[in-house]
Amino acid sequence: MKSFLKGKKDKTNGEAPGALTASTSHPGFSTGGSHAPEGPEFSIQRIYLKSLSYAAPSSPSIFQEEWKPTVDMQIQTHNSKISEGLHEAVIKVTVVGKSNEKPVFTVEVEQAGVFVANKFTDEQLSAVLGGMCPNILFPYAREAITELATRGTFPPIYLAPINFDLVYAQALEKQSHETQK
């Protein structure tokens, strides 16, 4: 299998040292080999919408007012172990659209996924679940938020991409500084 992380080639097996190996396991699909990967294994089993909420408390009167939009966004992530090597990661995105400081709509999306993550150290697994999985899920949540805002006849909400690997690293650093005090 090919590594999806770039780095120096290892002379023994041709993959980058410490690289994650992507694999798939779908019913009726065979990769041709019967041996399990030696290194860490990661795959997506399912991506799904866990919860969806939309409210437009100021409708229809807001449509008669001058439109001066602002958007507030909050993001939360969490994960849980389903069974050995199987984890659920969830990203919850709440967007409140306002005009003239008055709430116009609220969209809340919980996008989730079930991921296979085997043969990782605890530190690596934490980084995969805290960074990589939210990176995978966020575009789906963004799409749902944009769709709901436009269905409410509001302008589309185009949320900027977020690097959850960096957010995770910053959270670890902050936690490290707090424990040192």
Among candidate residues 81, 76, 171, the one with its CA nearest the CA of residue 125 = 81
Tens digits of residue pLDDT in 108-167: 999 999 999 999 999 999 999 999 999 999 999 999 999 999 999 998 889 999 999 999
Q: Are strands 21-22 and 41-55 parallel, antiparallel or unpaired?
A: parallel
- pLDDT level of residue 80 (50, 70, 90 thresholds): very high
Nearest 10 degrees: Cα torsion 144, 94, 176, 5: 10
3-class secondary-structure state, position 122: helix
* pTM for this predicted structure: 0.76
Taking the C-alpha atoms of residue 53 and residue 39, their distance in angstroms, rounded to an integer, is 40
- CB within 8 A of 155, min separation 6: which ones? 69, 149
List pLDDT tens digits, range 154-180. Answer: 988 899 999 999 999 999 998 888 888
Residue 1 predicted with pLDDT over 90: no
Alpha carbon distance 54, 116 (integer Å): 31
Q: 123 in helix, strand or coil? A: helix
Which pLDDT score is estimated for 89? 98
At residue 181, does pLDDT exceed 90? no
pLDDT (average), residues 68-88: 95
pLDDT in tens, 2-13: 333 333 333 333
Give the count of beta carbons closer than 10 Å to the beta carbon of residue 83.
6
